[in-house]
Each structure stands twice: as structure tokens, then as C-alpha cells.
A and B are shown apart, each in its own frame.
Chain A
């Protein structure tokens, strides 16, 4: 379960987020919608621990993680552009979090293979990430975020900038995957159809 309580982010007197509170039950998906510039991405970064929070708390399974640095929170993030490491192959990107956890090579290989099959991209294991299409980048970024088995997964407009057919297919696949894995997740999206695929919807307003 993820609980955000009175979360505020203020920079130089400008309030980006003002006392945001919501709860995401374990295994369910929450959509966060709202106009551009309202602070949706900042909300995800604040939950991850990537930006400074002025007030409020973040709880994961009843534990207050507000003071815990980002790399120890166990919260995965799939950004808008994927942010794959350009100096690594597809496999190396996906196994990154597993190397950090000192998993054995055998375990890493098995997990990478498993995830590549989940996202239907097994043939791209050794591909240079600079050669991937937009849809493939999003899938690999998702696989990378899932590899270390995060407690919570955050997705920041994971389907933006894709053509309609790719968007539709990717959206279906991602939601199916999240459902199969029963992973607590938050998706920031502009698309109503994607918001309706989620269990709950939260609207941020200016």
C-alpha cells in the first residue's frame, strides 16, 4: 500500500504541490490526471525521493519513507522518455537494478529473460538501446523498473508521443502486466481511456 499524506512541495515561495493526500491499496492502480504544469511529474518525483518535500509524508506499507533517500525506497519509476542508459545494451539496462542488489549472473540472466518474454522483446536482448523504437524504449524501461521487484511502481506518461496503434497495444500490455504482477502503481496520464483502465483516478488542479 502507498499512502501520501499532506504532501507539499514549495520552491522559492511558489507552491508546486499543496497538501496532496491519497491512498493506493496494495495491488491496485491509480491514475493521476490534470492539466499541464499542475505538478503531476513533481508528485511522482516527490514520492520517489528525487525532489525535496516541504511538508507531508509518504508511507509504504505503513512505514514512513519520507526521510529515506531515493535509492533505498524500493519505488520504481518509468519516466516519460524511458531514460535508458545509452552506454548499455537492452539486457544490461534491464539487469541494472539486479546488479545493484548483487544478484548472481545466473539469477540476473534468468530474470532478464523472464521480463523480456513478458514484454515480447526477447529478440532484442543484445541490441544497442539507441536503435530502439519509441514503443520498444517504453517496454524496456518498464522491464528495467520491474526487474528489482519494486514495492511501488510509478509511470510518468508512459504512452505519450506514440502513434495510436502502438499506444493502444502498449497500454493494453502494460495494464495486463500490472494486473498479473499485482503491483501497486500510479500512472500519470493525459489519456482518458488509460485513466479508465485504472482502479482509481485522482485529479490534480491548479
Chain B
């Protein structure tokens, strides 16, 4: 009877908790995206896109560069994750901070860093930028899972004669496979829908579906073609999700959190984790260091001109000041977090299916941008030029990831604590505030940081909605780097370097 009552209560509670997130997502995602497809999708145009050699080439490039980027990211990221989650050693914390920092940086900043080193655009810089940006995804998703693999199981395997590679295959992999597949899926989607990196490093010849959607919709006014491309993109991503679902295993049974082993106690190959981390840090940190370098050096001479210009309050060739850009970005980030985190918490507290809330991952930011422009174009919903719409869009984009960040924490709260609270006189609401929220504080802080990071770095949808009074840091950086002139470009690097210094210093401590 008690079990039935609890289940009934949970079902009612679920419906109530989901009202706000469902309404929010419906208004600011489902309606705009559906509107776009209903107004502009034509089968004839879709067929034209599929039969167009150049556009097929864009789709093919989007696909293969995403696959290669994902494989390269896993090649660098998985060994680094192993080293950092299984061992403690001097410098591990700094290395982890460096490797996760790019995730909280805008893609355009990372791209600027790669450009600072390669001084050229094309496939290799694109792949490099994708690796730099996404190693942190592998660390953040696979790391916690790997640290839960009891290292005594590996010891047991060793005493039974298994060499390290067999131990990994037979003992470790079953526990981390799901996390690796999740991380790989996310990395693939980020790379497949890459916009900021392509905008900086793609040059004339390299475009992804995402950047082509923007070009067709905004520069050429071909919304029909843009919509057809968006449908193609969504179909490919949906196919990926379907394939990944087949690969999913049942969840790992081990819930033991295994403390990292002090590296000095490792009996053999103690240098291996160091070498692995050094390589990963070199790959990830060098573009960031190069950005700072390019902001300070012109034609081989040190020059503080760009930095002086920045801190004088003006951004050359743009009609906004640095203070305005930074303030706008921070305000949007805080607003986005204030919207996203409570909604994500409501969803994470329920056991409702996640399909609806995963949709923003399937549909590209550019497609969402188009939808917002055409949907909120007429009274009484003429919101497309409203500043508040930008943080709302950021919240939509961040929602799936913030839900995923909160879920492990919400699910880990044992119901026995709520039962105890109830027997001590606390109502369900008081129990939730006094018991659940206090346990969830660290997770909520991390979720807030994640939401703010996504908002600070968002470029795709913001490109559609940004006006002169709502220029964000990524938009300003992309505009400066995209314009001719040494001074303008150096200012772009300086702004990117400023963002790196602030972000690495503040966000990586989270």
C-alpha cells in the first residue's frame, strides 16, 4: 500500500513539476522550430538539396570531419581521463584545469587560438580546434564514471594474470562504455554542428551544414534552402541518436567511488601518465597560449597597442565598447542560468522521458535562430529584437546539458532521507528545501557554472538575434577577427586572450 501511495504521489508530482519546463520549451523551441518547418520546408527543395553537388559536399564534409574530430578527441581525451581519474600527482589539478577550461570558452576563441599558431585556415586547424574544445567533454563525462571503477578489481585481474590491456577490455570497459559512448555522441554533435570554429577557420571552401544554414538564411535570404538543410542536419543527428541507443548497455553495477592512486605508489611505468598528460596539455593549451602571444606581438615586435585600445574602452571597427560587450555577456549568462537551472532541476527531479528535453541537441542553433526570427516577428509577439530573448535562447540550448549534469545528483538522494524528514514533521515542500536542496548545493553550483559557460560561449543562435546593443563577446571576437587590418585582428586576439585569462582563472576553479 505504501509503495502504491508513493508511486501515485510521484506520478502526480511529475506532472506538476514538468509544467513550467514543458511550457518554456514549447514557446521558445518547439513553436519556432515547427513554424520554420511548416512555413519553409518543401519536399522539392529538400530533393534539390540532396541532388545538389555542392550542398552534398557540405553535408559530407560536416559528417566526415565530425567523425574524425570525435576519434581524435577520444584518442587524446581518453588516456588523459585515465591518467587524471586513476592517479594523483603533482600538477594534476593544474593539468585538469587547463584541459577543462576550453569547454567554458567560446568556440571562436579556441578557433582564434589555433589560427594564431597555424596562421592558415582549412581542415587541420578545424580538427585541432575541435579537439581542443572537446577534450573537456570527455573528461567531464567519462572522468567521474572511470573514478567509480574500483581499482581493486584491476588488482584482482592483474593477480589472475591479465596484462593491463586485457584488464581494460574485460574489467574496466564494461563500466565506462556508456559514458564513453555518451561523450563521443556529444562530441560528434558539437563537431557536426560546428559554427564558430568554421566561421574562423573554414575559409572560403570549408563549410558545415550549420554555417551553410546561416549563410543561406541570413546572407542570401534563401530560408527555404536553409530549412531543407536544417531538416537534413536533424535527420542525420537523429540517426546518430538511434544508432547510439542500440549500443547502450545496462548501467554499470559498481557504485564504489575509488580514490585515485598516488602515482608514486604505482609499481611500474610511472612516467606514462605524465607523458600522456603532457601531450594532452600541449595540444589543448598551445592555442590558448598562442592567442595571448598574438595579442602582444605584431611583426615580431612586442606591442601593447591592442590591450591599451581594449582598456581605453573602444573596440576598433566596432560600434560598441569593451565594457558594453563584457557587461552584456555577463548579464546574459547570469540571466540564462537563472532561467535554465531551476527548469533543469524540475526536470531532473522527475523520472519523465527525456526525449522532449533532448530536442535542442538534435536541432542546430542556427535552425533555432531562424525559427525565432520568423516566429517572433509580428505583434503581439514581436520579440526578435528584444535583448531578453538572447538569454532565453541560451537557456534553451543549455537545458539538455544542465539536466544531464543534475540528474546523477538528484537520483542519488535516497528516499529514506525524505521519509525521515516526514516523520520529523516536515511537509514535502519543506523536506525538498531542507533536505534535497541542501544536498544538491554543489551540483547546483556546477550546473550554474555550466549554464553560464554555455551562454558565454554561444555563437550560432546569438548571431541571428544580436543587434548593436546586444553584442556578446563571441560575436565581437568573430567580427574583429573577420575584418581586414592588423590592428583590428590584434584587437580580436586581445579580446580572446582577455576571455581566456578570465575564464581559466575563474571557471576552472569550479
A contact residues vs B (CB 8 Å cutoff): 11-12, 45, 48-53, 69-77, 79, 81, 83, 85-87, 96-97, 99-101, 130, 144-145, 147-148, 150
Contacting pair B153 A85 (CB below 8 A): yes
Residue pairs across A and B with CB atoms within 8 Å: the count is 92
Contacting pair B162 A71 (CB below 8 A): yes
- Report the separation of the CA atoms of residues A133 and B75 in the bound assembly, to the nearest whole angstrom: 41
Which listed residue (B160, B162, B270) contacts A76, Cβ 8 A?
Answer: B160
B130 within 8 A of A: no
B159 within 8 A of A: yes
- Report the separation of the CA atoms of residues A83 and B170 in the bound assembly, to the nearest whole angstrom: 14
Residues of B near A147 (CB, < 8 A) are 160
Please name 30 pairs of A and B residues whose Cβ atoms are closer than 8 Å in the assembled complex, sorted by A. A12-B264, A48-B158, A49-B158, A49-B267, A50-B155, A50-B159, A52-B266, A69-B158, A70-B155, A71-B158, A71-B163, A71-B164, A73-B159, A74-B161, A77-B155, A77-B156, A79-B155, A83-B152, A83-B153, A83-B155, A85-B153, A85-B157, A86-B252, A87-B174, A87-B175, A87-B252, A96-B160, A100-B161, A144-B156, A148-B160
Q: Looking across the interface, which residue of chain A has its beta carbon closest to that of B170?
A: A96
Most chain A beta-carbon contacts within 10 A, residue among B159, B164, B265: B159
B243 within 8 A of A: no
Residues of A near B160 (CB, < 8 A) are 71, 76, 96-97, 100, 144-145, 147-148
B262 within 8 A of A: yes
Taken residue by residue from 161 to 176, chain B's Cβ proximity to chain A (1 for < 8 Å, 0 otherwise) reads as: 1111011001100110
- Report the separation of the CA atoms of residues A101 and B253 in the bound assembly, to the nearest whole angstrom: 26
Contacting pair B264 A83 (CB below 8 A): no
B150 within 8 A of A: yes
Contacting pair A79 B262 (CB below 8 A): no
B contact residues vs A (CB 8 Å cutoff): 150, 152-153, 155-164, 166-167, 170-171, 174-175, 252-254, 262, 264-268, 270
- Report the separation of the CA atoms of residues A130 and B252 in the bound assembly, to the nearest whole angstrom: 12
Which listed residue (B150, B153, B161, B265) contacts A72, Cβ 8 A?
Answer: B161
Task: Tell me whether A51 and B159 are in contact in the complex, defined as CB-CB below 8 angstroms, given that A79-B152, A86-B254, A87-B174 are known contacts.
Answer: no
Residues of B near A87 (CB, < 8 A) are 174-175, 252-253
Residues of B near A49 (CB, < 8 A) are 158, 267
Q: Looking across the interface, which residue of chain A has its beta carbon closest to that of B162?
A: A100
Most chain B beta-carbon contacts within 10 A, residue among A12, A85, A144: A85
Residues of B near A79 (CB, < 8 A) are 152, 155-156
Additional pairs, 5, CB under 8 Å, beyond known A52-B264, A96-B160, A148-B161:
A52-B265, A71-B157, A83-B156, A87-B252, A147-B160
